[in-house]
Amino acid sequence: GQQVMQIPQYQHVQEGEDFTTYCNSSTTLSNIQWYKQRPGGHPVFLIQLVKSGEVKKQKRLTFQFGEAKKNSSLHITATQTTDVGTYFCAGFGSSGAGSYQLTFGKGTKLSVIP
Amino acid sequence: DAGVTQSPTHLIKTRGQQVTLRCSPKSGHDTVSWYQQALGQGPQFIFQYYEEEERQRGNFPDRFSGHQFPNYSSELNVNALLLGDSALYLCASSLAPGLALYNEQFFGPGTRLTVL
């Protein structure tokens, strides 16, 4: 079945440093979504990428979707303490036998040292 | 505008018991998906309901079943509980039936289930 791998698992950065998390799918995706989950909270939608090679920006966050639609990345410039949380990618694609589902990566837990 | 609500917030059960979790979608949403999130892991898709029918299902055994009501609210039932069923159960609502997983999903706060 479809697998989505995300690295790194953990990242500790000094406030002001940049941060990047990478996501790779075992199969070609129809689209990819990114979510942020604060400690003790629930996932909150950040963005969706649909087109091959797509790049989207939200203030200090830059999201990319690979040309083959099998990988994606999230880059945060000049991290702030408010960026703390776990960032998940979720790929939408076929899980076999005509079934489609959203498959989440294991997430990257970001800690920001003030 | 109420977001996605779930009840109860916490639940403790023993092995072999049965549990029912409830979800009310965000106002205006008609599609509900359920996820299981084990500690330190990403959410795993259980199934999705639209028009009171299960439309998509992840790799979960038949012990996991659900229901959607005419008002779009949904229930997740788990029978014959195992220790490994301990997790945070998340409900997410969205629009666009059939392509719902293409759209932004709004997650509820979750139900923390502990199986002893």
Q: Concatenate the DSSP letters of all residues of B12-55 into one string.
A: EE-TT--EEEEEEPPTT--EEEEEEE-TTS--EEEEEEETTEEE
Sorted by sequence, the CB contacts under 8 Å of residue B78 that are 6+ apart come out as B18, B19, B21, B63, B64, B65, B85, B113
Q: With the CA atoms of B43, B54, B82 and A94 taken in that order, what torsion angle do they form, in degrees rounded to the nearest 10?
A: -50
Secondary element (H or E) of residue A97: none
**Site of tokens 């989207």:** A56
pLDDT of residue A63: 98
pLDDT of residue A11: 97
Half-sphere exposure of B5 (CA within 13 A, CB side): 8
CA distance A74 to A61: 7
pLDDT of residue B100: 47
Residue A60: CB atoms within 10 Å: 14
Look up residue A22 and give its amino acid: Y
CB contact under 8 A, B107 and A43: yes
CA distance A48 to A83: 19
Instruction: Name which of B100, B104, B55, B62 is nearest B79 in CA terms.
Output: B62
Sorted by sequence, the CB contacts under 8 Å of residue B28 that are 6+ apart come out as B95
Reported as a single tens digit per residue, the pLDDT across B17-52 is 999 999 999 998 999 999 999 999 999 999 999 889
pLDDT of residue A60: 98
* A·B CB contacts under 8 A: 57
CB-closest option in A30, A45, A107 to B42: A107
pLDDT of residue A2: 81
Reported as a single tens digit per residue, the pLDDT across A7-46 is 999 999 999 999 999 999 999 999 999 999 999 999 999 9
CA distance A73 to A3: 16
CB contact under 8 A, A42 and B108: yes
CA distance A67 to A84: 29
Reported as a single tens digit per residue, the pLDDT across B55-112 is 889 999 999 999 999 999 999 999 999 999 999 999 999 886 555 456 788 999 999 9
- Cβ-in-10-Å burial (0-12, 13-18, 19+) of B4 comes to buried
Look up residue B116 and give its amino acid: L
CB-closest option in B102, B108, B109 to A92: B102
pLDDT of residue A94: 79
A107 touches chain B (CB under 8 A): yes
pLDDT of residue B101: 53
